[in-house]
Structure 1
């Protein structure tokens, strides 16, 4: 279940948010900016609903701090405020907010915005993972090419050395055979790395694709 942090000092608003969200999400409520920052570091949520007018540190300052930290900057932040002025919205987006909802709002509107931003974050995370896996495959192919030539040469020389042994060298022949066996295992591993260049995606659900790590 996705985790949402709601930062709201009004008990009425807290109850309203819980009533709307608790059936679909795990919701944690904090009443001020300082406790919200601590909560995020303790257990990072998937999304933050942030009231602008908070006691002590206001929502803009909280947002700026979270968006300025590499550990938390990717968490979507939706501002909740009773002020509908253009200037306030601009301040919110300048602070780094991903969205802005004016109170009072319809429950359906809040749920739709939350769903949208959670889906957007998931898509971004998948894009990053796909890029990492693409890099991994490219590195695997490059490594396999670098290993193949010296492995081939070593195996060739082992065969020549084994052929050149005369009678009474069975112990040395056994050692050479063991070395060849271990090198063959390395060659098989390198061959599997080379196969990582092919498409390793597998169909998932609703037209999406996931990476099958067992095929890399």
Structure 2
């Protein structure tokens, strides 16, 4: 399970050390900054999930740091809790007007601060999921319209290309161009089929599925493919198996879409690690590869229909996987580092 990263920005070293120890004991990762300029540098370098921001700091004060964050597209949505010994109402109002989510006055009760941190992290997650769902719905509608408009002329292109190929000798210098047109027409036709299939995905959740057994069946089906591609499969399934109400066929398709991406990301071989973990009444499924990874600027687009960095494929695999996982009331997240591999993290609440 990925730990949330919290940036502690405060020029008082004792406060930073105390917060660092308490937050790590509560399951968070932390980074620290001791002045305004270092804070800005650390934010852009590490992209934390939440910032605890002191107002009175050297270099740039908390207000200046906050203003810079909110004016930058990359950092404008990071939750910020202001920390200060100044309890005057105008100071609080200024911080909130600049876009801080919350305001805590020193000395503070750690349990109260922890509750606020968890609340803002949960709110951020809910907003991100809502945006993702709305975006997916809008793109789905657009895809259907595009597919409808493209299908008829595509049939004409494919049909006439096939006829021209039947009339063209094998040694004709124009034949490779016709074959290229036919190949691309078939690829577009496959894309349109995938679009219609994506649109009509309907979950039929009518059976309890053993997650371990389901994953083992999927892994077994990839044994030969991975062997042929010099990919070592590592299986680390939790000893504690769980049964979940789901559509096994569609869930398997989602997992296979992710695995297919992993295999394609390792053209020279590598390791595919599939593991499960049960923590805090949640099931986590990890699919990790040692492939080429994804550029940081591309990560926010990976669930968009048709987004792909591959020469082949429709770019609908992860979009489809996300829709299926969300249909089962689960979440799907992707972490990646260029040249170091990618990890897909699927989670389900077990309560």
Short-chain TM bin: 0.7 to 0.9
Aligned residue in 2 for 1:98: 101
Q: Residue 324 of structure 2: SS of its match in structure 1?
A: strand
Provide the TM-score with structure 2 as the length reference: 0.51
Of 50, 66, 70, 1:67 maps to 70
Structure 1 145/21 Cα, relative in aligned 2: closer, same or farther at 3 Å? same
Give the greater-gyration-radius structure (CA). Answer: 1
Deviations 1:139-163 (A, max 9, x none): 321221112111333456578x69x
Residues 148 and 187 of structure 1 are in contact (CA less than 8 Å); yes or no, is this contact kept in structure 2? yes
2:193 & 2:48 partners in 1: Cα distance? Answer: 42
Aligned residue in 1 for 2:147: 144
Aligned residue in 2 for 1:78: 81
CA RMSD of aligned residues (A): 3.0
Residues 140 and 196 of structure 1 are in contact (CA less than 8 Å); yes or no, is this contact kept in structure 2? no
1:115 & 1:148 partners in 2: Cα distance? Answer: 49
Aligned residue in 2 for 1:12: 14
Shift of 1:203: 4.8
Residues 7 and 31 of structure 2 are in contact (CA less than 8 Å); yes or no, is this contact kept in structure 1? yes
Query: In the alignment, does 2:35 pair up with 1:32?
Result: yes
Shift of 1:54: 1.0
2:78 & 2:180 partners in 1: Cα distance? Answer: 52
Aligned residue in 2 for 1:214: none
Provide the TM-score with structure 1 as the length reference: 0.79
- Say which structure is richer in strand: 2
Residues 4 and 29 of structure 2 are in contact (CA less than 8 Å); yes or no, is this contact kept in structure 1? yes
Of 324, 330, 343, 1:202 maps to 324
2:58 & 2:161 partners in 1: Cα distance? Answer: 76
Aligned residues: 202
1:145 & 1:101 partners in 2: Cα distance? Answer: 55
Q: Residue 54 of structure 1: SS of its match in structure 2?
A: coil
Aligned residue in 1 for 2:54: 51
Q: Residue 104 of structure 1: SS of its match in structure 2?
A: coil
Shift of 1:64: 1.0
Aligned residue in 2 for 1:120: 123
Deviations 1:151-195 (A, max 9, x none): 333456578x69xx9xxx7959xx8xx799755564343222222
- Say which structure is richer in helix: 1
Structure 1 residue runs of 5 or longer lacking an equivalent are: 212-216
Structure 1 106/153 Cα, relative in aligned 2: closer, same or farther at 3 Å? same
Specify which structure has the bigger relative contact order, considering alpha-carbon pairs within 8 angstroms and separated by 6 or more residues: 1
Structure 1 171/129 Cα, relative in aligned 2: closer, same or farther at 3 Å? same
